[in-house]
């Protein structure tokens, strides 16, 4: 019933091909995970940068109100802390003001105030700083 033929030795490429495929897939997964991690870090830094810009804008708006109410740079309260504001926790703004008086025609007075607001959010490697400058009279 069974032929008395000697069994042939089969030589195949299955194992080397499987190892190659597994190695290529491992490198592909590793590359994708590194890309995902760097993308997440980039988005985090963009969010911190936007928050710092909004802190600088908010600081400038507060400073404009203070300067116009006091009619001098002495009305500015610096630094500002935004811990109570939703979305701006761990953010602050440092304010600076300079005034120049000149003979300017029209309404608004003869004094021009230059207000510089520096917004800062985060700490360490995740820290972002943005500067907004406003002139009012």
Q: pTM above 0.75?
A: no
d(CA 63, CA 58): 9
22: three-class secondary structure by DSSP: helix
Give the model confidence (pLDDT) of 84-136 as tens digits: 777 788 888 999 999 888 777 777 678 889 999 999 998 888 889 999 999 98
Four-point Cα dihedral 71, 96, 113, 121, nearest 10: -110
Instruction: Provide the token pair at 78.
Output: 């610096």
Give the model confidence (pLDDT) of 69-96 as tens digits: 888 888 888 788 887 777 788 888 999 9
Residue in the block written with tokens 């299955």:
14
**Structural domain boundaries of the chain?**
14-136
């Amino acid at each position: 019933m069974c032929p008395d033929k000697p069994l042939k030795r089969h030589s195949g490429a299955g194992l080397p091909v499987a190892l190659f495929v597994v190695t290529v897939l491992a490198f592909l997964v590793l590359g994708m995970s590194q890309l995902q991690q760097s993308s997440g870090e980039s988005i985090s830094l963009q969010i911190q940068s936007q928050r710092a810009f909004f802190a600088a804008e908010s600081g400038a708006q507060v400073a404009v109100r203070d300067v116009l109410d006091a009619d001098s740079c002495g009305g500015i309260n610096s630094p500002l802390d935004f811990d109570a504001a939703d979305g701006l926790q761990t953010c602050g703004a440092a304010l600076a003001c300079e005034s120049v008086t000149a003979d300017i025609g029209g309404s608004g007075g003869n004094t021009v105030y230059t207000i510089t607001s520096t917004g800062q959010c985060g700490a360490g490697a995740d820290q972002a700083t943005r500067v907004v400058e406003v002139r009012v009279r």
